[in-house]
Amino acid sequence: MTSATHDAVVSRRGLQLPHTHVDTIFVDGAWQPSRGTGRNPVTDPATGEVWGSVPDGTPEDVDAAVGSAQRAFQGEWPRLTPSERAAYLLRIADEVEKRAEELSLTNSRENGSPVAESAGAAANAAGIFRYFATLAGYLEREDVRPFPRGGGESVVRREPLGVCALIAPWNFPINLVIIKLAPALLAGCTVVIKPASPTPLSIRVIIDAVAAAGVPAGVVNLVTGSGRLGDVLVKHPGVAKVAFTGSTPVGRKIAAACGELLRPVTLELGGKSSAIVLPDADLDAMSKVLIKSSMRNTGQTCYISTRILAPASRYDEVVDMVTTTIAAGKQGDPLEPDTVFGPCATESQYRTVLEYVESGLAEGARATTGGRAATLSGGLENGYFVEPTVFADVTPDMRISREEIFGPVITVLKYNDAGGSVDEAVALANNTEFGLGGLVFGADEDAALAVADRMDTGSVGLNFFASNHAAPFGGRHDSGLGTEYGIEGLNAYLSYKSIHRKV
């Protein structure tokens, strides 16, 4: 299928994607020309063809966007009651849902996420806006704390931090902005968004929804451009807080810049999470959730558990189950509804993943399925497809066992479960620089919970993984700083003020 036929798929559904080749940014409540003349291409990773382009933004664009957000922060937005802002969030949620198909197809053409995945993006985004709307009451609650020794009391105010820079990666280009945007807006902050270079278009559909919901001009702004532009935004004097999701190396640079500036920052970074298979695990049940928990979005999901830790007593059985399950998932055109695995999102990611596959083979791991680039036909010949790959006989020192691959590669390691001990599994799971996700598969839920409690990581799933909008999500160690989701995620956009008075 060529890009032209991808266009045909889109128009067969009676759609014209609202944003393809564009030369605007969103500032002061309107699409307006970028101050620069450069353009960045948007490539369909399933076909290798360029189907869109956006401005390669300039520092003047960042100035304009931050200035717009600063003016809006001086205006009515932070002075509305939280309930009034929550009403906007609910309207945005409705407007996002009206655009579900445009969002899904734009997202899938930007990063190759199968439509089975991206079709849920609008509902998920709407769900996040609706969840944060429920927290208006928390912000409105009077918080008066008596001095413990008497004689006075303090009125504790929770105030919005100001202009927030929201910087997102390409793997879930909608969700990873919304999880910042929704709490920032409820808190009363204004924002400037910088999406990742491969995925600058789907977020424009969200901006359309924000505008249609009547959010005041300047509250939400969008610039597009490279990591250099992101750096300009992070360091801009008008920015009060940075919220970043992306790789650990870039996260360190942003943390250093924010450290120098004493600027609050939230960092959601990389991961290398483990699924501990307990000796009593139900492997049939595990096979039903495996793709979602260990290879979601063609392995391009930060929290998935791509290291399967299998008990020696059942190692071959686990390898067989993982291999059969992964090999059965259809790889193909992301726009086909039954596609499970798409391409890597970018050419450079494709090369990185293939390099990891090569390193796994060179270090002596055994590919039980996959292990090479995939050659597809029907217009997908130039797509960035790597065969979904399972490596057995993986040892803890191999690069594929330690480093984040961010592609369709699962490693299966063996732990010694003699006498029913899972100590070695816990030690292996915790022996990484990261600490983002994790899973425990086991029939005895109490025993599984006890193992989860020993894992040094921000989230753990018992027999499945799903994130919960109401529960904190964040990484330890090289996986980041701070928290998103839940009241904890809202607090990251607030500054506290204590007003003391005598009583």
Among 192, 436, 451, 481, binds ligand NAP (CB under 6 A): 436
Judged by CB, which is closer to ligand NAP: 75, or 227? 227
Q: How far is CA 54 from CA 57, 188, 210, 278, in A?
A: 9, 29, 20, 49
Q: How far is the CB of 348 from ligand NAP (least distance, A)?
A: 9
Q: What are phi and psi of 42, to 5 degrees?
A: -115, 120
Q: How far is the CB of 182 from ligand NAP (least distance, A)?
A: 15
Handedness of CA 124, 55, 385, 474 (dihedral sign): negative
The C-alpha atoms of residue 170 and residue 184 are separated, in whole angstroms, by: 21
- Closest-CA residue to 309 (of 319, 296, 323, 295): 319
Among 406, 441, 465, 485, binds ligand NAP (CB under 6 A): 406
Q: What are phi and psi of 301, to 5 degrees?
A: -140, 135
Residue 463 makes contact with ligand NAP by CB under 6 A: no
Q: How far is the CB of 407 from ligand NAP (least distance, A)?
A: 11
**Rounded (5°) CA angle 489-493-497:** 120
Residue 437 makes contact with ligand NAP by CB under 6 A: no
Residue 480 makes contact with ligand NAP by CB under 6 A: yes
Residue 231 makes contact with ligand NAP by CB under 6 A: yes
| Residues from 141 through 170 that contact ligand NAP (CB under 6 A) | 167-170
Q: Which residues, other chains included, contact 450 with Cβ-Cβ below 8 Å and sequence gap of 6+?
A: none
DSSP 3-state of 1 = coil
Q: How far is the CB of 9 from ligand NAP (least distance, A)?
A: 26
Judged by CB, which is closer to ligand NAP: 216, or 227? 227
Q: How far is the CB of 345 from ligand NAP (least distance, A)?
A: 9
196-215 footprint of ligand NAP as x/- string (CB under 6 A): xx------------------
Contact 51, 6 (CB under 8 A): yes
Residue 302 makes contact with ligand NAP by CB under 6 A: yes
Residue 396 makes contact with ligand NAP by CB under 6 A: no
Residue 475 makes contact with ligand NAP by CB under 6 A: yes
Q: Is 59 exposed, middle or buried (0-12, 13-18, 19+ CB in 10 A)?
A: middle
Among 180, 194, 204, 469, binds ligand NAP (CB under 6 A): 194
DSSP structural state of residue 341: B
Among 247, 313, 324, 359, binds ligand NAP (CB under 6 A): 247
- Residue 209 has which token pair? 């929804």
The C-alpha atoms of residue 157 and residue 9 are separated, in whole angstroms, by: 52
Judged by CB, which is closer to ligand NAP: 246, or 408? 246
Residue 268 makes contact with ligand NAP by CB under 6 A: yes
Stretch that binds ligand NAP, among 43-51, 191-199, 275-283, 408-416 (CB under 6 A): 191-199
Count of residues near ligand NAP by CB under 6 A = 30
Element (H, E) at 412: strand 409-415
Judged by CB, which is closer to ligand NAP: 368, or 411? 411
Residue 254 makes contact with ligand NAP by CB under 6 A: yes
Stretch that binds ligand NAP, among 247-255, 371-379, 386-394, 415-423 (CB under 6 A): 247-255
Paired strand residues for 473: 484
Phi and psi based region of residue 253 (left: phi greater than 0; alpha: psi -120 to 50; beta: remaining): alpha
Chain length of the chain: 503
What's the N-to-C CA distance of the chain in angstroms? 75
CA 459 centroid distance within chain: 14
The C-alpha atoms of residue 289 and residue 272 are separated, in whole angstroms, by: 18
- Closest-CA residue to 168 (of 115, 213, 219, 125): 125
Whose structure tokens read 């009241």?
Answer: 487
Residue 246 makes contact with ligand NAP by CB under 6 A: yes
Stretch that binds ligand NAP, among 194-202, 325-333, 387-395, 438-446 (CB under 6 A): 194-202
Stretch that binds ligand NAP, among 209-217, 267-275, 360-368, 393-401 (CB under 6 A): 267-275
Stretch that binds ligand NAP, among 128-136, 226-234, 422-430, 460-468 (CB under 6 A): 226-234
Judged by CB, which is closer to ligand NAP: 226, or 324? 226
Q: How far is the CB of 485 from ligand NAP (least distance, A)?
A: 10
List active site positions.
Answer: 268, 302
| Residues from 317 through 336 that contact ligand NAP (CB under 6 A) | none
Q: How far is the CB of 86 from ligand NAP (least distance, A)?
A: 25
Q: How far is CA 9 from CA 109, 334, 335, 337, in A?
A: 11, 11, 8, 12
The C-alpha atoms of residue 318 and residue 309 are separated, in whole angstroms, by: 9
Stretch that binds ligand NAP, among 75-83, 127-135, 190-198, 258-266 (CB under 6 A): 190-198
Handedness of CA 176, 177, 182, 188 (dihedral sign): positive
Contact 445, 462 (CB under 8 A): yes
Using CB under 6 A, list all residues that contact ligand NAP.
167-171, 176, 194, 196-197, 226-227, 230-231, 234, 245-247, 250, 253-254, 268-271, 302, 404, 406, 436, 475, 480
